Amino acid sequence: MIGAILGDIIGSPYEFDQGDKSKSFELFGSASHFTDDTVMTIAVAEALMNTLGCSDEEITAEVTRLMRRWGRCYPYAGYGGSFRHWLHTPKPEPYNSYGNGSAMRVSAAGWLADDLEGTRRLARLTAEVTHNHPEGIKGAEATASAIFLARTGRSKDEIRDYITRTFGYDLSRTCDEIRPAYRHDESCQRTVPEAITAFLEGSDFEDVIRTAVSLGGDCDTLTCISGSIAEAFYGVPDELAEEARKRLEPKMIEVLDRFEETRQKHV
């Protein structure tokens, strides 16, 4: 989960195509801060930890409750209009979204299940409370599956093959081919494949982050997704994890620490 949070924080200054599409940039600066990606990642992680072994109905109820609670605690974190309405409506219902929000918040699902079937189930449940469009669910399942495969020792070729075969994403383009024409796009269809490609091309955790930022687009979310997979494959350097923690609030760190303890049972 810290990999997703790092991706969000490092990518945040370059959202809305504000970077120069280069891998050479300062990792942390005065504008590096957490956004809705981190808030919802924390919320989903807490919900899944609270409902280990529970029914689908219990999981979705807790995901809904905690996403709304955390979202209301941080009302200016950068939510989209439909999601902001969902946070405050008396009767929250899914709204058929295929936005990349389902994929950016899903990282805990890749760590807290014991197999791919369980991983995809958790990912689907975390997506469906808002993003119940097939593409929204697919984006979450693909991201969580890549995390599960990475943390269980699969090679990048195996991860690429599984994601391509199972979800139909085109992972044949290189980042050099993607970068020139790539622009801000908040859909899963135009974020998740690019994020996975950045992971596949990166040579270590930091290089994955730099590669993702260099693509531009919805940079905090794209890099959040890439970072979540890169953590599972490479781990996260201690100095980078510490920089992320400096930018989080105490109650976020409490959930993060609990998650680190919980996930060790599934490694």
pLDDT score of 55: 98
Please give the model's pTM, rounded to 2 decimal places: 0.97
Distance CA 124, CA 101 (A): 13
Res. 267: pLDDT tops 90: no
User: How many percent of the chain have pLDDT more than 70?
Assistant: 99
Is residue 63 helix, strand or coil?
Answer: helix
* CATH architecture observed for domain 2-266: Orthogonal Bundle (1.10)
**pLDDT one-digit tens code per residue, 85-110:** 999 999 999 999 999 999 999 999 99
Counting Cα atoms < 13 Å in the Cβ hemisphere of 262 gives: 22
Contact call for residues 43 and 34 (beta carbons, < 8 A): no
User: How many percent of the chain have pLDDT more than 90?
Assistant: 96
Tally DSSP H helices, then E strands, for the chain: 14, 0
Q: With helix as H, strand as E and coil as C, how does 200-263 read? A: HHCCCHHHHHHHHHHHCCCHHHHHHHHHHHHHHHHCCCHHHHHHHHHCCCHHHHHHHHHHHHHH
Distance CA 181, CA 173 (A): 12
pLDDT score of 52: 96
Res. 69: pLDDT tops 90: yes
Beta bridge partners of 187: 99
pLDDT score of 264: 80
- Give the distance, in angstroms, between the CA of residue 248 and the centroid of all CA atoms in the same chain: 17
Burial 58-89 (b: 16+ CB within 10 A, else e): ebbebbbbbbbebbeebeebbbeeebeebbee
**pLDDT one-digit tens code per residue, 127-169:** 999 999 999 999 999 999 999 999 999 999 999 999 999 999 9
Largest CA distance in the chain: 46
pLDDT score of 162: 98
Residue 236, sorted as left (phi over 0), alpha (psi -120 to 50) or beta, turns out to be: beta
